[in-house]
Amino acid sequence: MPTVEKDLVCFSHLRWNFVFQRPQHLLTRFSSVMRVFYIEEPIYADQDDFLTFEKPADNIWVIVPHLNHKQDNHTSRQQKLLQAFFKEHKIENYIFWFYTPMAMDLSSVFKPELVIYDCMDELSAFKYAPPSLKYFEDELFKKADLVFTGGYSLYQAKKHRHENIHPFPSSIDKDHFQSARTIMKDPDDQANIPHPRIGFYGVIDERMNLDMIAKVAELKPEYHFVIIGPVVKIDHATLPRLENIHYLGGKSYQELPNYLAGWDIAMIPFELNESTRFISPTKTPEYLAAGKPVISSSIQDVVNPYGDKNLVYIADTAEAFIDAAVKELTASDREDWLSRVDEFLLENSWNSTWSQMVQFINEKLADKESGKKIYNINLKEDLYV
């Protein structure tokens, strides 16, 4: 396979080693055909400016700027660090890929051959979002050659802002999560939790409807809630503490099927507010691929399509949640449901999503480089199944 003579430089608000999700899924695939440089937000301390970088995988560099918090001109100082890094690593023909519009100011001194905005969330609605985020997103929409969205509802909200915008909702590594259907041994920290178990994994933050979980736990003390993931942006003291709620902390992506295998029901208990209005939870198809029934809040991108197709239960109150749990726990036959789940997920994969994105990228490269030598991204058809 010919070498792709382009690099991909990604600006992200998410730490690479935080939670393995959309950026990691997509960029790991890009790294099979090109170099990927993942630039995280800076860390501030009382020291001279410098960059650190590590290689978590072949062809992926994770770069972290470290800036002296006492000095001004944070943007220009970070630009100088990155310009030196680009020169040292011969990053000359490159695509810019944005997850955070806040990096627009930082990227102004560079000349990418293509600018892509993968808008995975409505970040301006998140807790502690900087006031300038909306301004920088406006600028990013002006500069972007291509825009992808993390779901259909977000696409509907953004489609009027760009002429070349495409929805790509959450995908799955099907084999990885389907393995939960055959795993028999519980992880040690879950093994002694009684059944029925209702589980959640993901970031525990202001989007979680903790009050509803607490109420269900109080009304149904025989139900045991397994909650996996880091707690961010909220005080640990606000977490409901009951004997049947079990916080197991963060787990690696590789470990998740081992925990899923031991659950009776999986849940997506989000609040309905501005921060969840346009989200498309990746965990929805992952739970289903594991063969687990799901109870979810009425998040738009869960209701349509999963709720509308009767693949998940929709519940926004403790009473509705309990009704769904009782119905599921007393169900005698789930074969028809599981068959419909598998049929629905048949074409769902991160490899398919990535391949479709590459097609749009190559089309745009061809448009921009007509009359020049074109270095398209070449796919390895057998790379991911």
**pLDDT single digits (tens) 120-158:** 988 888 878 888 999 999 999 999 999 999 999 999 999
Strand order in the sheet with 197-201: 245-249, 224-228, 197-201, 265-268, 294-296, 313-314
Tell me the one-letter amino acid at 300.
Answer: Q
Closest CA relative to residue 301, chosen from 197, 151, 136: 151
d(CA 18, CA 9): 19
Both tokens assigned to 283:
């965990």
pLDDT-based confidence at 380, cuts 50/70/90?
low
Tell me the one-letter amino acid at 202.
Answer: G
Q: CA angle, corner 350, sides to 349 and 352, nearest 5?
A: 70
What dihedral angle (degrees, nearest 10) is formed by the CA atoms of 303, 346, 122, 146? -140
381 versus 79: which is more confidently predicted?
79
d(CA 350, CA 170): 8
State whether the Cα torsion 200-202-208-210 is positive or negative.
positive
d(CA 118, CA 167): 10
Mean of all residue pLDDT scores within the chain: 92
Could you please report the per-residue DSSP string of 249-302?
E---GGGHHHHHTT-SEEEE-B--STTTTT---THHHHHHHTT--EEE---HHH
Average of pLDDT values for 56-83?
A: 92
With a pLDDT cut of 90, the percent of the chain lying above it is 83
Residue 360, classified by CB atoms within 10 Å of its CB into exposed (0-12), middle (13-18) or buried (19+), is middle
Q: What is the pLDDT of residue 182?
A: 97
d(CA 358, CA 168): 12
Both tokens assigned to 53:
């970088």
**pLDDT single digits (tens) 230-240:** 999 999 999 99
Q: Read off the pTM.
A: 0.88
Q: Quick check: 98 and 118 in contact, CB under 8 A?
A: yes
Average of pLDDT values for 301-322?
A: 97
Bond from prior residue into 305 cis (ω within 30 degrees of 0): yes
Q: What is the pLDDT of residue 332?
A: 85
What dihedral angle (degrees, nearest 10) is formed by the CA atoms of 21, 25, 26, 28? 130
Q: What is the pLDDT of residue 125?
A: 83
Q: CA angle, corner 326, sides to 323 and 327, nearest 5?
A: 85
Both tokens assigned to 155:
């696409």
Bond from prior residue into 42 cis (ω within 30 degrees of 0): no
